[in-house]
């Protein structure tokens, strides 16, 4: 399996990241860099799943909010793989630290924005120049329904995701003529570790489809956005929320 065509998925060791990593390898034959920050075992399990299905993948560890680490690790990888080209970035890494804004600790604000919004900058900024020079790239940012409509108790998370939405639209305009697209997917309530403690039966009542989504349904949208069929789509946000927000 060639490593020439590479996709990087941040936060790829679990939940949405895991489903996206598996789907990109299956649908497009990408060598997938499964990023993790604190769970190498889970990341290795994703790699094993991809390889078992005939694909190619490896883990790559860094905290997306640590700019120096991101730069160092990605440079080391690209230097060691000069024939490879990271042509897809999926900025999926994110955390929540929910609480009312009036009593929110500074660290909860800084940490959530640092991972989501800072992570988008750190990873994309480190790789986008090569995409521009190669005149091809696909950047997909995983945002949230919270960034579209806001959510009480999630001012930090909503702000981070809304910021990425704005960045998606602006960056798309800057680099569209270089055949690099920038889009986002905005999941609603999806069955992942982030929602495992939610009362699904109760919360599903406010969703028109009366159910939570599956990680694979988000992965399918990401797969489409990196495909040739989506080559004229950029600066857009695809809502994946069962009709919760349209």
| Token pair of 142 as six digits | 């995983």
Helix 106-113 vs helix 155-175: crossing angle, to nearest 10? 30
Per-residue burial over 103-120, b = 16 or more CB atoms within 10 Å of its CB, e = otherwise: ebeeebbebbbbbbbbbb
Which ranges constitute the DSSP H helices of the chain?
Answer: 15-28, 40-52, 67-80, 106-113, 119-134, 145-149, 155-175, 200-203, 215-225
d(CA 194, CA 220) in angstroms, rounded, equals 20
Set out the domains of the chain in order of their start, with CATH numbers: 5-240 (3.40.50.720)
Just list the catalytic residues: 157
Average pLDDT over residues 37-42: 95
pLDDT of residue 55: 97
Hey, is 56 helix, strand or coil? strand
pLDDT of 1 over the 50 cut = no
pLDDT of 166 over the 90 cut = yes
Counting residues of the chain whose pLDDT is more than 70, the rounded percentage is 97
pLDDT band, very low/low/confident/very high, at 188 (cuts 50, 70, 90): very high
CA quadruple 205, 210, 213, 218: dihedral sign: negative
How many H helices and E strands in the chain? 9, 7
Q: What is the pTM of this model?
A: 0.96
- Chain length of the chain: 246
pLDDT band, very low/low/confident/very high, at 192 (cuts 50, 70, 90): confident
CA quadruple 88, 10, 48, 72: dihedral sign: positive
């Amino acid at each position: 399996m060639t490593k020439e065509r590479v996709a990087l998925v941040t936060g790829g060791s679990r939940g949405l990241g895991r489903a996206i990593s598996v789907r990109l390898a299956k649908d497009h034959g990408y060598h997938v860099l499964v990023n993790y920050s604190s769970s190498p075992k889970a990341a290795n399990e994703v790699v094993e799943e991809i390889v078992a299905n005939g694909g190619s993948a490896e883990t790559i560890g860094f905290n997306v909010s640590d700019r120096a680490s991101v730069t160092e690790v990605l440079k080391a990888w690209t230097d060691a793989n000069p024939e490879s080209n990271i042509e897809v970035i999926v900025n999926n890494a994110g955390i929540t630290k929910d609480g009312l804004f009036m009593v929110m600790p500074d660290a909860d604000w800084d940490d959530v924005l640092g991972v989501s919004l800072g992570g988008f900058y750190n990873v994309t900024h480190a790789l986008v120049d090569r995409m521009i020079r190669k005149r091809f790239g696909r950047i997909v940012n995983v945002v949230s329904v919270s960034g579209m409509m806001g959510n009480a108790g999630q001012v930090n998370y909503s702000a981070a995701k809304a910021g990425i939405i704005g960045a998606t639209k602006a960056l798309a305009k800057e680099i569209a003529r270089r055949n690099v697209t920038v889009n986002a997917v905005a999941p609603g309530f999806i069955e992942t570790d982030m929602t495992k403690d939610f009362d699904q039966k109760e919360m599903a009542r406010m969703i028109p489809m009366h159910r939570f989504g599956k990680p694979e349904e988000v992965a399918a949208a990401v797969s489409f956005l990196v495909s040739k069929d989506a080559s004229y789509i950029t600066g857009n946000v695809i809502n994946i929320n069962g009709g919760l927000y349209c």
